[in-house]
Amino acid sequence: MPQIFHRSANIYSKASIVGGVLFAGLALTLILTISRSSYATQQNVNRDQPVPFSHAHHVGGMGLDCRYCHNSVEISSSANVPPTKTCMNCHSMVWNESPTLEPVRASFRTNESIAWTRVHDLPDYVYFNHSIHVNKGVGCQTCHGQVDRMALMAQHSPLTMEWCLDCHRQPERYVRKREDVFRMDYVPPSNQLELGKQLVAEYKIAKTENLTSCSTCHR
């Protein structure tokens, strides 16, 4: 029986072994890179909103506390987007003829919600609860970044699972005192690890094996 392949085919078979491994590596790298990129995570992407609401102005400029608008954050899983009435507390008097704010006034007149564009959207298989985080000393700033300098809201963190786990594995690196949770000008002290360990004990933050258990976040 004559040979099916010519002798030169050997080079192809050798090349395909090396090439296959390289290709698989490249494909894997590509997938992992894309899934962590801001294209997939929407990290640091400013979203257009029906009204160009500026946290930089309201928080950085006016000094409003996060909870003035997001008043359910300490007691609820979701940090509410405020109802139009909260805007009108001030904007019935200030900037009350501005064309930019007409959608707000229209919403107040007609009782129709303003369709804000959602910026932070975790997958539905993740059960995230704001109240436990702020009550156990996780600052707003730790996840949401310098909101007081954001003209249009952008998602500061990647919100990937590895990002969540980074803190769930070692909360002592991030937690702060409860009274500092809503501060925007907070800088972690030089003895953060020491303070963190003390706060983890004081606030009874769960052990790492519980914080990283699947069913803590996926139920």
Partner 1 sequence: MAAPLVWLAVTGCRQDMHDQPRYEAQEESRFFEDRRASRPLPEGALARGFLRQDTKFYQGKDGDQMVKEFPLPVTAALLARGQERYNIYCSPCHGQTGDGNGMIPSRGAKHPPSYHLDRLREAPVGYFYDVITNGFGAMYDYSAQIQDPQDRWAIVAYIRVLQRSRYAPETDAPAEERNRLGPPPAKPVVPAATTGAAQ
Kindly state the smallest distance separating residue 1's Cβ from partner 1, in Å: 30
Read off the DSSP letter of residue 146: -
Q: What is the closest distance, in whole angstroms, from the C-beta atom of residue 115 to partner 1 in the complex? A: 7
User: One symbol per residue from 136 to 175: x for binding partner 1 (CB under 8 A), - otherwise; what is it?
Assistant: ----------------------------------------
How many residues in the shown chain lie near partner 1 by CB under 8 A?
Answer: 34
Residue 159, sorted as left (phi over 0), alpha (psi -120 to 50) or beta, turns out to be: left
Which residues in 91-110 contact partner 1 (CB under 8 A)?
A: 92-95
**Alpha-carbon torsion (192, 74, 183, 180), positive or negative:** negative
Contact 95, 101 (CB under 8 A): yes
**Contact partners, residue 147, CB within 8 Å, separation at least 6:** 55, 59, 66, 140, 141, 153, 156, 184
Site residues (CB under 8 A) for partner 1, limited to 19-78: 20, 23-24, 27, 31, 62-65, 67-68, 71, 76-78
Site residues (vs partner 1, CB under 8 A): 20, 23-24, 27, 31, 62-65, 67-68, 71, 76-78, 80-81, 83, 85-86, 88-90, 92-95, 111-113, 115, 123-125
